[in-house]
Protein backbone atom coordinates (compact mmCIF):
# COMPACT_ATOMS: atom_id res chain seq x y z
CA UNK A 1 0.00 0.00 0.00
CA UNK A 2 1.48 3.33 -1.04
CA UNK A 3 1.01 6.53 0.83
CA UNK A 4 -0.09 9.59 -1.02
CA UNK A 5 1.62 12.92 -0.50
CA UNK A 6 -1.07 14.97 -2.20
CA UNK A 7 -1.89 18.25 -0.54
CA UNK A 8 -5.39 18.88 0.74
CA UNK A 9 -7.43 21.30 -1.35
CA UNK A 10 -7.00 25.02 -0.75
CA UNK A 11 -10.04 26.29 1.13
CA UNK A 12 -11.49 29.60 0.07
CA UNK A 13 -14.69 31.44 0.84
CA UNK A 14 -17.08 32.41 -1.96
CA UNK A 15 -19.36 35.44 -1.75
CA UNK A 16 -21.67 37.16 -4.22
CA UNK A 17 -21.92 40.93 -4.65
CA UNK A 18 -24.59 42.61 -6.76
CA UNK A 19 -23.14 45.31 -9.02
CA UNK A 20 -24.57 47.44 -11.84
CA UNK A 21 -22.97 45.08 -14.37
CA UNK A 22 -23.89 41.74 -12.86
CA UNK A 23 -23.20 39.62 -9.83
CA UNK A 24 -19.54 39.53 -8.86
CA UNK A 25 -18.04 36.42 -7.32
CA UNK A 26 -15.57 37.19 -4.55
CA UNK A 27 -13.14 34.48 -3.48
CA UNK A 28 -11.32 35.14 -0.22
CA UNK A 29 -8.80 33.20 1.81
CA UNK A 30 -8.83 32.47 5.54
CA UNK A 31 -7.20 35.86 6.19
CA UNK A 32 -9.99 37.69 4.33
CA UNK A 33 -7.68 38.54 1.42
CA UNK A 34 -9.16 38.62 -2.09
CA UNK A 35 -7.91 35.75 -4.27
CA UNK A 36 -10.34 36.05 -7.19
CA UNK A 37 -13.06 38.34 -8.48
CA UNK A 38 -15.05 37.28 -11.50
CA UNK A 39 -18.62 37.37 -12.76
CA UNK A 40 -21.34 34.88 -11.98
CA UNK A 41 -21.83 34.11 -15.66
CA UNK A 42 -18.12 33.14 -15.84
CA UNK A 43 -18.13 30.89 -12.76
CA UNK A 44 -16.70 27.92 -14.67
CA UNK A 45 -13.75 29.95 -15.98
CA UNK A 46 -13.03 31.35 -12.51
CA UNK A 47 -12.98 27.87 -11.01
CA UNK A 48 -10.62 26.69 -13.75
CA UNK A 49 -8.25 29.62 -13.12
CA UNK A 50 -8.29 28.85 -9.39
CA UNK A 51 -7.49 25.19 -10.15
CA UNK A 52 -4.61 26.19 -12.42
CA UNK A 53 -3.15 28.52 -9.80
CA UNK A 54 -3.77 26.55 -6.61
CA UNK A 55 -4.48 22.95 -7.57
CA UNK A 56 -7.50 21.43 -5.87
CA UNK A 57 -9.77 24.13 -4.43
CA UNK A 58 -12.65 23.85 -1.99
CA UNK A 59 -14.99 26.84 -2.29
CA UNK A 60 -17.46 27.32 0.53
CA UNK A 61 -20.12 29.97 0.95
CA UNK A 62 -18.64 32.68 3.14
CA UNK A 63 -19.28 36.39 3.40
CA UNK A 64 -16.30 38.47 2.25
CA UNK A 65 -15.00 40.98 4.80
CA UNK A 66 -17.28 43.99 5.25
CA UNK A 67 -14.53 46.45 4.32
CA UNK A 68 -13.91 44.62 1.03
CA UNK A 69 -17.62 44.55 0.16
CA UNK A 70 -17.90 48.23 1.11
CA UNK A 71 -14.88 49.18 -1.01
CA UNK A 72 -16.24 47.36 -4.06
CA UNK A 73 -19.70 48.85 -3.60
CA UNK A 74 -18.09 52.28 -3.18
CA UNK A 75 -16.19 51.84 -6.44
CA UNK A 76 -19.38 50.96 -8.29
CA UNK A 77 -21.10 53.98 -6.71
CA UNK A 78 -18.38 56.28 -8.07
CA UNK A 79 -15.60 56.38 -5.45
CA UNK A 80 -12.98 54.95 -7.77
CA UNK A 81 -10.15 55.19 -5.23
CA UNK A 82 -11.83 52.57 -3.02
CA UNK A 83 -10.23 49.75 -5.03
CA UNK A 84 -6.80 50.67 -3.63
CA UNK A 85 -7.93 49.67 -0.12
CA UNK A 86 -8.65 46.04 -1.06
CA UNK A 87 -6.05 43.51 0.04
CA UNK A 88 -5.34 40.92 -2.62
CA UNK A 89 -2.98 38.02 -3.19
CA UNK A 90 -2.34 36.06 -6.37
CA UNK A 91 -0.58 32.86 -7.34
CA UNK A 92 0.54 32.34 -10.94
CA UNK A 93 3.96 32.45 -12.54
CA UNK A 94 6.46 35.17 -11.67
CA UNK A 95 5.76 36.81 -15.05
CA UNK A 96 1.99 36.73 -14.51
CA UNK A 97 2.38 38.24 -11.04
CA UNK A 98 4.59 40.97 -12.50
CA UNK A 99 1.91 41.84 -15.08
CA UNK A 100 -0.92 41.70 -12.54
CA UNK A 101 0.97 43.90 -10.09
CA UNK A 102 1.61 46.39 -12.91
CA UNK A 103 -2.12 46.47 -13.70
CA UNK A 104 -2.76 47.82 -10.21
CA UNK A 105 -0.56 50.84 -11.04
CA UNK A 106 -2.68 51.99 -14.00
CA UNK A 107 -4.70 54.91 -12.62
CA UNK A 108 -8.47 54.84 -12.95
CA UNK A 109 -9.67 57.01 -15.79
CA UNK A 110 -6.69 56.05 -17.95
CA UNK A 111 -5.89 53.25 -20.35
CA UNK A 112 -2.69 51.67 -21.56
CA UNK A 113 -2.00 49.51 -24.58
CA UNK A 114 -0.64 46.02 -24.17
CA UNK A 115 2.57 47.20 -25.84
CA UNK A 116 2.90 50.17 -23.50
CA UNK A 117 2.53 47.87 -20.49
CA UNK A 118 5.14 45.50 -21.93
CA UNK A 119 7.49 48.47 -22.39
CA UNK A 120 6.76 49.66 -18.85
CA UNK A 121 7.86 46.21 -17.66
CA UNK A 122 11.12 46.60 -19.67
CA UNK A 123 9.95 43.79 -21.93
CA UNK A 124 8.84 45.62 -25.10
CA UNK A 125 8.76 42.46 -27.20
CA UNK A 126 6.52 40.61 -24.75
CA UNK A 127 3.25 42.12 -25.98
CA UNK A 128 1.57 38.76 -26.58
CA UNK A 129 2.79 37.38 -23.26
CA UNK A 130 1.41 40.46 -21.49
CA UNK A 131 -1.90 39.91 -23.26
CA UNK A 132 -1.98 36.27 -22.24
CA UNK A 133 -1.15 37.09 -18.60
CA UNK A 134 -3.77 39.83 -18.63
CA UNK A 135 -6.35 37.31 -19.85
CA UNK A 136 -5.49 35.03 -16.93
CA UNK A 137 -5.93 37.76 -14.33
CA UNK A 138 -7.91 36.17 -11.47
CA UNK A 139 -8.90 39.46 -9.81
CA UNK A 140 -10.99 41.41 -12.28
CA UNK A 141 -11.75 45.09 -11.57
CA UNK A 142 -9.36 45.32 -8.58
CA UNK A 143 -6.43 44.42 -10.83
CA UNK A 144 -7.87 46.51 -13.65
CA UNK A 145 -7.30 44.43 -16.76
CA UNK A 146 -10.15 46.41 -18.32
CA UNK A 147 -7.76 49.39 -18.61
CA UNK A 148 -5.66 47.62 -21.25
CA UNK A 149 -6.67 48.40 -24.81
CA UNK A 150 -5.38 47.78 -28.31
CA UNK A 151 -2.54 49.85 -29.79
CA UNK A 152 -5.09 51.61 -32.01
CA UNK A 153 -7.26 52.53 -29.02
CA UNK A 154 -9.81 49.80 -29.66
CA UNK A 155 -11.43 47.72 -26.95
CA UNK A 156 -10.02 44.24 -27.29
CA UNK A 157 -10.73 41.17 -25.25
CA UNK A 158 -12.12 41.25 -21.76
CA UNK A 159 -12.83 38.08 -19.82
CA UNK A 160 -16.09 39.53 -18.50
CA UNK A 161 -17.25 40.57 -21.97
CA UNK A 162 -16.68 43.78 -23.93
CA UNK A 163 -19.90 45.38 -22.65
CA UNK A 164 -18.61 45.15 -19.08
CA UNK A 165 -15.24 46.52 -20.18
CA UNK A 166 -16.96 49.44 -21.91
CA UNK A 167 -19.11 50.11 -18.82
CA UNK A 168 -16.09 50.01 -16.47
CA UNK A 169 -14.08 52.39 -18.62
CA UNK A 170 -16.99 54.83 -18.99
CA UNK A 171 -17.63 54.58 -15.24
CA UNK A 172 -14.00 55.68 -14.74
CA UNK A 173 -14.41 58.58 -17.18
CA UNK A 174 -12.79 57.09 -20.28
CA UNK A 175 -14.65 57.86 -23.50
CA UNK A 176 -14.87 54.67 -25.55
DSSP 143: S
DSSP 56: S
- CB of 20 closer than 8 Å to CB of 39: no
Between CA 6 and CA 103 the distance in angstroms is 34
Between CA 31 and CA 83 the distance in angstroms is 18
Helix 127-135 vs helix 94-103: crossing angle, to nearest 10 = 80
- CB of 62 closer than 8 Å to CB of 52: no
Question: Is 145 noted as a catalytic residue in this protein?
Answer: yes
* 3-class state of residue 52 by DSSP: helix
Kindly name the residue from 68, 83, 145, 168 that is annotated as catalytic. Answer: 145
- CB of 169 closer than 8 Å to CB of 146: yes
User: Within 10 Å of residue 162's Cβ, how many Cβ atoms?
Assistant: 13
Residues designated as active site: 145
Amino acid sequence: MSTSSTNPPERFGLDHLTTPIGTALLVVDADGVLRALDWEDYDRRMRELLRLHYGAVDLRAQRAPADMRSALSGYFEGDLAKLKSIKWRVAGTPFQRKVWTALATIPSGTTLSYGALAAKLDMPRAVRAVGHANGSNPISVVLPCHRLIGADGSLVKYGGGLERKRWLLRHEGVEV
